[in-house]
Structure 1
Amino acid sequence: MPSPRAILYDPKENPFLHVISRCVRRGWLCGEDPTLLKKHRKNYDHRRQWIVDRIDRLSKAFAVDIAAYAVMSNHYHLVVYIDVERAKNWDIKQVLLHYCKVFSPHPWVKDYLDPSKRQLLTQMQTQWVEETADTIYRKRLYSISWFMRSINEPLARMANAEDLCKGRFWEGRFKAQALLDQQALLTCMAYVDLNPLRAGIAQTPESSNYTSVQVRVETELPASNHRRKKSRKTNGQRRYDYNFARLKPFVDSETKSSINIKDKIHSLPFKLKDYLELVDASARMARTDKKYHMDDSLPPIFERLEIETNARWWASAMSGRSTVMASARQFAHAMGSALNLKQFKERVKQQTETWRQQTLSPGKQPPS
C-alpha cells in the first residue's frame, strides 16, 4: 500500500512543493501540435492564459503562494508554498470569505456572511456554519489537492465546452515533489522557469511567455518596464498582451506582481538579482537530451536588460544542481540533499506505518 499524499506532502514539514499536471495522452491541448500539417493545426494558446488567470485567482483565495510557474503547450509546472499558519490565523469570517471566492457557498453560509440575515439563523445553523468553516473549509484552503482540483476541473470543463466534446482533459491526478531545502527550491524554480527555453520555443528566459521569470523581469525591473512600453513585439510574436500571476516575493522584492508581505520571513530566501543570474547561467548550459540552450554569445541577462549591476556568477550553486537533480531522480517524491532525503523517507515511513495501524484497527477511520 503506497503512502497517502497527506503524509508524503505534509505542508507542516515541507511547505514548498513542485507540482506538475499534464494534458491527457500528453496531447497538445493547450498549444499547437507541430507534428500536424499546418492546415490541420488548431492553436489553443489562449488556454495557457486560462491557467495563469486561474492560478492568480486561487493564490488570492487559498493559503498557497506561487514561487514559480511555467505553462507549456501540454503541461504546466508550479512551485508553491503552502502557508498553514496563515490559514490557521484566519477567523471564521475570513475562512468563509476566502472559501467563497472559489466555491459556491451553502445558503446558510450566505446568510451568515450577510449581516441582515445572520440574525435569522438558528443557533444550530450558526454552529454548523462555524464548525464547518473551522474543521473542513480551513483545511481545504491549505490543501494542495484541493488547490490543484480547483485549477484543473474548471479548465477541463471550459476546454471541453470549447471543443464540443466530453471526456478527460488532464492525465490523472497531478504529480508532486517535496522540496526539502533551499538548494532544492532554487534548483527547481530555475528548472521550471527554463522549460520554454529547453523546449526550443524561447530564445532567452525573459522572452519565455507564461513563465514566472518573465513576470519578475517585466514587473520588478524598472528598465524592463520602460522597454515594455516602447516595444510590444519580439521575434514576430506579440508579448505581454496578457495578465500575470501574483508571485511570492524575494527578500528584496518591491513590486505589484508579488504578494505584499512586509515580514521578510515569508519571502523567498534569495535576492532577485542573484536568482536571475542563476537562471541566465543555467540557460547557457548545453544538454544533449534537450532541443535548445541559450547562445553563449549573448551578453549576460543584466546587459540584455540594460541594467547596471555587479553580477555574480553562480558557479557554486550550479555545481550543486546536478547532485540535487540526481537525488530527485532516485527518490521521486522529494528533492534535496542526501541527509534531508534520508530524514524525509524516515518520517514518511514512520507516519505511514502509524496510518496503516489506525486504518486496520476496528472502529477507526483513516484521516481525511
Structure 2
Amino acid sequence: MPKPRSSQVSLIYTPYYHCVSRCVRRAFLCGIDKYSGTSYEHRRAWVEDKVLWLSSVFAIGICAYAVMSNHVHLVLCVDKDKAMSWSDKQVVGRWHRLHRGTLLSQKFMRNELLSENEWISLKETIGVYRQRLYDISWLMASLSEPIARQANKEDGCTGRFWEGRFKSQALLDDAAVLSCMAYVDLNPIRAKIAKTPETSQHTSIQKRTEAIQQHKRQPYKLLPFVGNPRQDMPQGIAFSLQDYCELVDTTGRIIRADKAGTLDSAHSPILSRLGLSEEQWITLTTEFEQHFCYAAGAEQMMQAFKTHTHRKRIGGMKQAKRLLS
C-alpha cells in the first residue's frame, strides 16, 4: 500500500528530495514512439520550460533535472524559511501566477478596502497559499497537470497521462544529494541517447556546462553551487560547480565506454570530501533508484529518518551501509 506523502517528507531532517513522474500511457511524454513513428521530441521543451518557470514561483530550488522519453527526474531543495519571509502581497502574487485565487485575494491585489471579517478570512487563505508554495506535492501537481492537458489536447484524447503518484526519495546527507544529482544528470548517458553531459538535451548538467563554457554566472533558475562551507554562506549547494561538472563528465565517459575507467578519489575534491570510493560513486550514479526507496543516506541518518516518520522498516538500509558509509 502506498505510504502517505507526509511520511516521505520531513524538512526537519532534509530539504532535499528526488522526485520522479512517469507516464501511464504507451504514447510517450517525449521521444519517438517506435510503434507509430510519431515524434514527441518537442514536448521535452514543454517540461523543461515549465520546471524552470516553477522555480521562480515556489520556494523550492531545482538542483537537477532530466526530461526523459516517458518520465521526468527532479532533485529539489525546499526553502521553507524563504517562503515564511515573503510578505502577504508576495505570497498572493506568486499564487496568482499559478491560479486565479479567490475574490478576496483578487481584491487584495487591487488594493481595495477589505472589511475586518474579509481580512480575517483572507489571512487564513494566505496561510494556506504560503504553505503550498513550499510543498513538493503542489509543485509536482503544477508541473504535471498543465503538461497532461497540453499533451491530451495534442493527442485528441482524454484520461490519465501520468501515473497517479510521483515517486519521492528523501536525500539525507551530502553524499546522497550529490550522487543522486549525478544519477539524474547522467540519465541520457545511461540511456545511450547522448555521448557527453554537455550534449544531454533538456538536462540541468547541460545548462550548467553551458554557463561554464560561456564564462557566465550559474543559471539563475537552478540552485547554484556556492563552494566549500564557510561563514555567511549563501543559499545553495556546498560544493564547487567546476568540480561537480568535471566529476560528472568523467563518470559519464566511464559509463559510456561501458568499462572500468580512472576516477581516483585522491584527484576528486568531491569524492574525497564525501569519503566515497570510485566503486561506490559509480554504483550510486548508475543504480541509485535500484538501491533506495523512500530515503537515501548514511545508515545513521536512515535510522533517524525511519524513527521520525514512524516506519517499522525502511528499504535500502543495507545499501546505505555499503554505499554511503
TM-score clears 0.5: yes
- Letter matched to residue 125 of structure 1: E
- Verify: 1:198 aligned to 2:190, yes or no: yes
- Verify: 1:333 aligned to 2:302, yes or no: no
Q: How far apart in 2 are the matches of 1:312 and 1:122? A: 59
The Cα shift of 1:28 comes to: 2.0
Q: How far apart in 2 are the matches of 1:109 and 1:341? A: 42
The Cα shift of 1:26 comes to: 5.5
Query: 2:224 is matched with which residue: 224, 249, 268?
Result: 249
Q: How far apart in 2 are the matches of 1:16 and 1:181? A: 9
The Cα shift of 1:328 comes to: 6.4
Q: How far apart in 2 are the matches of 1:323 and 1:199? A: 16
Q: Could you tell me whether the CA contact under 8 Å between 1:11 and 1:83 is conserved in 2?
A: no
SS at 1:24's partner residue? Answer: coil
The Cα shift of 1:327 comes to: 8.6
- Verify: 1:209 aligned to 2:191, yes or no: no
The Cα shift of 1:221 comes to: 3.2
The Cα shift of 1:142 comes to: 0.7
Q: How do 1:268-347 and structure 2 match up within 5 A?
A: 268-286=237-255, 293-294=256-257, 314=271, 317=276, 318-321=278-281, 329=290, 331-347=292-308
CA, structure 1 residues 2+207, in 2 after alignment: closer, same or farther (shift >3 Å)? closer
Q: Give TM-score, length-normalised by structure 2.
A: 0.83
Q: Could you tell me whether the CA contact under 8 Å between 2:8 and 2:168 is conserved in 1?
A: no
The Cα shift of 1:351 comes to: 11
Q: Could you tell me whether the CA contact under 8 Å between 2:20 and 2:168 is conserved in 1?
A: yes
Q: How do 1:341-360 and structure 2 match up within 5 A?
A: 341-349=302-310
Q: Deviations over 1:28-86 (max 9, x none)?
A: 232212x33xxx31111111111111111111111100000000111110000010111
Find the counterpart in structure 2 of residue 65 from structure 1: 61
Q: How far apart in 1 are the matches of 2:235 and 2:84? A: 15
Q: Deviations over 1:273-313 (max 9, x none)?
A: 11012102221334xxxxxx1488x9x9xxxxxxxxx9869
- Verify: 1:130 aligned to 2:123, yes or no: yes
The Cα shift of 1:137 comes to: 0.7
Q: Which has the larger radius of gyration?
A: 1
- Verify: 1:28 aligned to 2:54, yes or no: no
SS at 1:31's partner residue? Answer: coil
Find the counterpart in structure 2 of residue 221 from structure 1: 213
The Cα shift of 1:252 comes to: 4.8
Deviates more, 1:6-15 or 1:92-101: 6-15
Q: Could you tell me whether the CA contact under 8 Å between 2:19 and 2:166 is conserved in 1?
A: yes
Q: Deviations over 1:321-349 (max 9, x none)?
A: 36767896454001111111111111111
Q: How far apart in 1 are the matches of 2:59 and 2:200? A: 27
CA, structure 1 residues 137+342, in 2 after alignment: closer, same or farther (shift >3 Å)? same
Q: How far apart in 1 are the matches of 2:270 and 2:52? A: 32
Q: Could you tell me whether the CA contact under 8 Å between 2:66 and 2:184 is conserved in 1?
A: yes
Q: Could you tell me whether the CA contact under 8 Å between 2:227 and 2:238 is conserved in 1?
A: no
CA, structure 1 residues 210+245, in 2 after alignment: closer, same or farther (shift >3 Å)? farther
Q: How far apart in 2 are the matches of 1:202 and 1:245? A: 25
Structure 2: where are the runs of 5+ without partners? 314-325
Q: How far apart in 2 are the matches of 1:211 and 1:311? A: 23
Q: How far apart in 1 are the matches of 2:289 and 2:206? A: 26
Q: Percent identity?
A: 42
Q: Deviations over 1:102-134 (max 9, x none)?
A: 11121211111112xx22x32211221122102
SS at 2:32's partner residue? Answer: coil
Q: Could you tell me whether the CA contact under 8 Å between 2:65 and 2:184 is conserved in 1?
A: yes
CA RMSD of aligned residues (A): 3.1
- Verify: 1:55 aligned to 2:74, yes or no: no
Q: How far apart in 1 are the matches of 2:290 and 2:67? A: 22
Query: 2:236 is matched with which residue: 253, 261, 267?
Result: 267
Q: Deviations over 1:238-276 (max 9, x none)?
A: xxxxxx8820000159xxxxxxxxx63411011011101
Find the counterpart in structure 2 of residue 80 from structure 1: 76
CA, structure 1 residues 190+324, in 2 after alignment: closer, same or farther (shift >3 Å)? closer
Q: Give TM-score, length-normalised by structure 1.
A: 0.74
Q: How far apart in 1 are the matches of 2:155 and 2:61? A: 32
Find the counterpart in structure 1 of residue 142 from structure 2: 150
SS at 1:277's partner residue? Answer: helix
Task: Write out the 4+ residue segments of structure 1 that deviate beyond 4 Å after TM superposition.
Answer: 310-316, 322-331
Q: How do 1:9-28 and structure 2 match up within 5 A?
A: 9-25=9-25, 27-28=27-28
Deviates more, 1:176-185 or 1:3-12: 3-12
Find the counterpart in structure 2 of residue 174 from structure 1: 166
Number of residue pairs aligned between Structure 1 and Structure 2:
302
Q: How far apart in 1 are the matches of 2:180 and 2:97? A: 30
